[in-house]
Structure 1
Amino acid sequence: MSPWQAAAIDLAHCIRFYSRLPVPALPWEQDAHAPPSFPRLLRMIPVAGLVLGLLPAMVLGLALLLDLGPWLAATLSVATVVLTTGALHEDGLADTADSIGGTTREKRLEIMRDSRIGSFGASALFLALALRTGALAALASRIDGSAIVAAILIAASLSRTAGLMPLVFLPPARADGMSQAVGQPARKTFWRAAGIAVILTIVLGVPSGLPFAGIVLMLVLSGLSGLALTRFAERHLGGQTGDIAGAAQQVAEIAALIGLLTVLPA
């Protein structure tokens, strides 16, 4: 198997894991439904994030072309993300927020496994959706179509890379959780993935006309968000879970979009 074929298989596995998009088995792929191995797939997650951002970006661009207005266009774009990913990261954010009500580590982990959503989780979910929609609407009113498409793709790639940070830098909080099952990636591999995310950000951001300061802020704030959620998980749970990774992705995406917005003239 060539390196390109191996990379294509890893990308297909990433998209299957992170979304509900129908990804057919590749001709040279032995098991299309094998569980993901994050230590191996890590390098393709920034690319998978970019791919998952394509449809929301196209929906927003089409809505703007139809003169539906920035708010409706942004809402449709965010709705597309939720539908295509099955609210995977949103669920992690809600569970993480609900765990704040736990008084002990064990209770917090128990709350995070509960399928029911509480007041903290519902509030966090509403605020996250509102912040993403508001940020996209504001961006759509300040920059042109190609630039807003680039911003969505960059945020999708960077945020999923930032979501890996708890998985890489912390041990699993449970002995039987999903994060334990998929394996802990090596830090060296993560830094390679981060390098790919940086390259993708520059390649997309500069030609589209995004301000350089905005590109830098997207990089810095998404990384700091991943680091903040990693430190929170360490103190809150003594380790990481898949829900923490989802929460880190959500916070990083919001931070990246708002960071870009702060350097654009109103």
Structure 2
Amino acid sequence: MPHPRLFLLALGFYTRLPVPQKLDYRQLPEAAVYLPLVGWLVGGLSALGFYLADGLWPQQTAVIVALAAGIFITGAFHEDGFADVCDGFGGGFDKPRILEIMKDPRTGSYGVLGLVLLLALKISVLGSLPAAAVPLLLLAGHSFSRLPPLLIMHRYAYARIDHSKAGAAVFRPGIAGLLFAASLALLPLLLLPALCWLAILPVLAVNRLLGRYFYRRIGGYTGDCLGASQQIAETVFYLSVSILWTFI
């Protein structure tokens, strides 16, 4: 199933990293199964940022540098989706209003507060874990957290049915695609202590609840919902590992 051109499409769309110009972007929806592999690169470069900064500043500062590196590489792609979801679901009372708010390029108070709290959680948790483990956690966290959005895409329908152009670009990964993505997402976890694999369970449980919440409120998902799913999964992964680490 590996297809280098689909990976390059995913890399070019989900990050700011340079890719060849001559790519068929009509295949972009199918490239979504390479999201965990994109996470390898984002997580690896974030881990490098932490490693370099940790030798110069306190650990929490190094964590901020690592998070900033990841945000720069992706162009805050997923963070923007998370903020839009906070605004839309926080300020909207029905589906049309929620979708309208999420489409607004401005960030409201719900989005700002949500991002502040999300980043604070990441900084607090990663700053409290052993420094030697943080680069591996960043690699695993960025990779594994990109699987939950695919699970939502597989289970639910795209919510903006009134936008035919966007709806036509939606891709529902099949079982084979999910298994391929899962193998990529889980591979970096082999670098962590075996007990850390238990962190998979709360991430999947929270993502299942999140998918149900989206379905109940808007009948499916949007691109912003997928970005929020990735950010929440990454944060829950770090939180879960921090609990498990007390037994390692």
- Output the TM-score relative to the length of structure 2: 0.90
Equivalent AA in structure 2 for residue 231 of structure 1: R
Equivalent AA in structure 2 for residue 183 of structure 1: V
May I ask how many residue pairs the two structures share in their alignment?
Answer: 244
After superposition, residues 78-93 of structure 1 pair within 5 angstroms as 78-93=67-82
Distance 1:37 1:130, change over 3 A: same
1:234 aligned residue: 215
Distance 1:92 1:116, change over 3 A: same
- For the residue of structure 2 that corresponds to 1:160, the secondary structure is coil
Equivalent AA in structure 2 for residue 71 of structure 1: Q
Distance 1:53 1:35, change over 3 A: farther
1:57 aligned residue: 47
| 2:183 pairs with 1:183 | no
Contact 1:162 1:225 in 2 (8 A): no
TM superposition shift of 1:111: 0.7
Provide the C-alpha distance between the structure 2 equivalents of 1:156 and 1:178, rounded to a whole number of angstroms: 30
Distance 1:235 1:179, change over 3 A: farther
Equivalent AA in structure 1 for residue 23 of structure 2: A
1:135 aligned residue: 125
CA RMSD of aligned residues (A): 2.0
Provide the C-alpha distance between the structure 2 equivalents of 1:37 and 1:148, rounded to a whole number of angstroms: 32
| 2:86 pairs with 1:97 | yes
Provide the C-alpha distance between the structure 2 equivalents of 1:36 and 1:82, rounded to a whole number of angstroms: 25
Contact 1:225 1:248 in 2 (8 A): no
After superposition, residues 159-170 of structure 1 pair within 5 angstroms as 159-170=145-156
TM superposition shift of 1:185: 2.1
* Residue of 179, 202, 226 corresponding to 1:245: 226
Provide the C-alpha distance between the structure 1 equivalents of 2:108 and 2:61, rounded to a whole number of angstroms: 28
| 2:14 pairs with 1:18 | yes
Contact 1:214 1:261 in 2 (8 A): no
1:37 aligned residue: 28
Provide the C-alpha distance between the structure 1 equivalents of 2:101 and 2:137, rounded to a whole number of angstroms: 35
1:28 aligned residue: none
* Structure 2: gaps of 5 or more residues: none
TM superposition shift of 1:201: 3.4
Distance 1:186 1:203, change over 3 A: same
Distance 1:79 1:204, change over 3 A: same
Provide the C-alpha distance between the structure 1 equivalents of 2:107 and 2:224, rounded to a whole number of angstroms: 13
Identical residues among aligned pairs (%) = 30
2:185 aligned residue: 197
Provide the C-alpha distance between the structure 2 equivalents of 1:196 and 1:185, rounded to a whole number of angstroms: 18
* Structure 1: gaps of 5 or more residues: 26-30
Contact 1:42 1:190 in 2 (8 A): no
Provide the C-alpha distance between the structure 2 equivalents of 1:265 and 1:22, rounded to a whole number of angstroms: 40
Equivalent AA in structure 1 for residue 25 of structure 2: A
TM superposition shift of 1:153: 0.7
Provide the C-alpha distance between the structure 2 equivalents of 1:194 and 1:242, rounded to a whole number of angstroms: 20
Provide the C-alpha distance between the structure 2 equivalents of 1:108 and 1:177, rounded to a whole number of angstroms: 19
Contact 1:179 1:241 in 2 (8 A): no
Equivalent AA in structure 2 for residue 261 of structure 1: S
TM superposition shift of 1:35: 4.5
Provide the C-alpha distance between the structure 1 equivalents of 2:227 and 2:164, rounded to a whole number of angstroms: 14
Q: Which runs of structure 1 show a deviation greater than 6 angstroms over 4 or more consecutive aligned residues?
A: none
Decide which moves more: 222-231 or 255-264. Answer: 222-231
- Output the TM-score relative to the length of structure 1: 0.84
